[in-house]
Structure 1
Amino acid sequence: MIEFNNVSKTYKKEFTAVKNINLKIDKGEFIFIVGKSGAGKSTLIKLLLREISPSEGIINYNGLDINKIRKRSVAEYRRKIGFVFQDYRLLPKMTVYENVAFAMEMICCSAKSIRREVPLVLSMVGLSDKAKYYPDELSGGEQQRVAIARAVINKPETIIADEPTGNLDPETSKEIMKILTEINKRGTTVIMATHDREIVTRYQKRVIELKHGVIIRDIKAGGYTDEPKEN
């Protein structure tokens, strides 16, 4: 489904953020991308979202070389991918319902389909009773659940979650992981960048570990233990 072939990204001919990445992600996988700050996690995500282009190599998404997508078609490509931010990025003057509905309005969905789909997704993330609330009336965990609902409302093939539990306490983090796991069980590919090794250890999904822009470990689901020893 997603394939990086010898992908490198160098900024200003000085700093190589990722180097010679070879990675294949199958449809329906749940993958953790881990590594310390500066390891290359954000660059990998930006490359997949086509926010930046690689200096070398090819990125394929369902057989499509995304670097060949014309600028006017990038938005259409990104509709295949739902994105969850660490800082939620909800629209403060819109209610929970309106925030999620807005994602459907952006791709010109009918009012009828919006009225049908939004309540279903809010129920899935456990926020049916908060539909009329505004973001500043919600807890951090509730805001993140709204962000997840917004990301999945248009039924993307892939969800990318960038540190979705980074601002949350352990109990709330478990709730968010439960939702992402359920979304994955329904067939959506989930790619989650995280610093939280406790979560990675607990959920035992496939793990891609980066260090200085290089993949140092690619561990199949159930095989993750702890951080490799330093040389």
Structure 2
Amino acid sequence: MIELYYWTTPNGHKPTIFLEEAGLEYEIHPINIGRGEQFSDEFLAITPNHKIPAIVDREPADGGQPLALFESGAILEYLADKSGKFLPAKGRERYITLQWLYWQMGGLGPMAGQNHHFRNYAEEKIDYAIERYVNETARLYGVLDQQLADNDFVAGHEYSIADMAIYPWVKSPQDQGQDIEDFPHVKRWMENIAARPAVQRAYALTEQINPDDGVEMDEEARRHLFGKR
């Protein structure tokens, strides 16, 4: 049994997509990051970084004590190795997949996240910051578009954890100041990923867990999310 500590953010959607695709048994523990639940003692015992997602594997392969993990990329890699799905066990295909996973973790996620913050949430609109992050996000979309020009999926012709990591971060390009028509290969790929039943089930959890997703945040949520403590 995988216990998933989750909220409806791009990083939160990554493990739900994997778990639904792989058919692994899991249980969700919602962590309402707009109400500060990520700072609870219970959650900090699992992840000292007080960020979602995190998991606890109650039945790790080594037969030892339950294993707690944080960082969405590490979680995807672990679940892939545990299940033997969506990540080659060895060889060049494994490392090609991992390089695109790390590309998302180190580049697309942080840049798109800052983009989204300065465009949509910052109380002070700073033109320099907005331009910088919108432009860098566009560059990264261009890198992805080029990769997908000759590949069905991000790491080649097989669906993988790289696709699961990247999709939630490009699902709403308009929120990042991007016109998806500028990136036709990304658009085709996004439509294919969105049509997958497991992805649809993963996103359906939003309505169950956080039906107010997309509603303008209040001042309490701003304090918890943006460090006003």
TM-score tier by shorter-chain length is 0.3 to 0.5
TM superposition score normalised by structure 2: 0.33
Higher relative contact order (CA 8 A, sep 6+): 1
Higher strand share: 1
